[in-house]
Amino acid sequence: MAKSKKDMRDTSREGREREEATRSSRRAEGLPPEEHASLEEVVRAARKAGAAKRKAAREEKKRSLSQDQPAAKPPVQDDAH
């Protein structure tokens, strides 16, 4: 007979034992906290990255539009007036 989902979850939990945590905080180890950029620096970097993406997309769009359009043909002059 097939096991229900609940039975399957229970058996998988029984098979696993909790492992002891091997990580400890930097403070507990006597190390200084990790260095992080200030909020202003993070925001500035994000804005620069966004501006670069927008500029690249704009240039790509310009390039694709110029490739799609055929070369301008010189106007045909009619000799019959």
CA end-to-end distance (rounded Å), the chain: 95
Share of the chain above pLDDT 70, in %: 57
The secondary structure of 16-33 as a DSSP string is --PPPP----TTTTTPPP
Residues 45/38, Cβ–Cβ less than 8 Å: no
Distance, CA of 56 to CA of 49 (rounded, Å)? 11
Distance, CA of 37 to CA of 25 (rounded, Å)? 20
Q: What is the pLDDT of residue 56?
A: 97
* Domain ranges within the chain, ordered by starting residue: 38-67
Average pLDDT rounded to a whole number, residues 7-30: 68
pTM: 0.45
Query: What are 41-54's pLDDT values in tens digits?
Result: 999 999 999 999 99
Residue at 75: amino acid letter = P
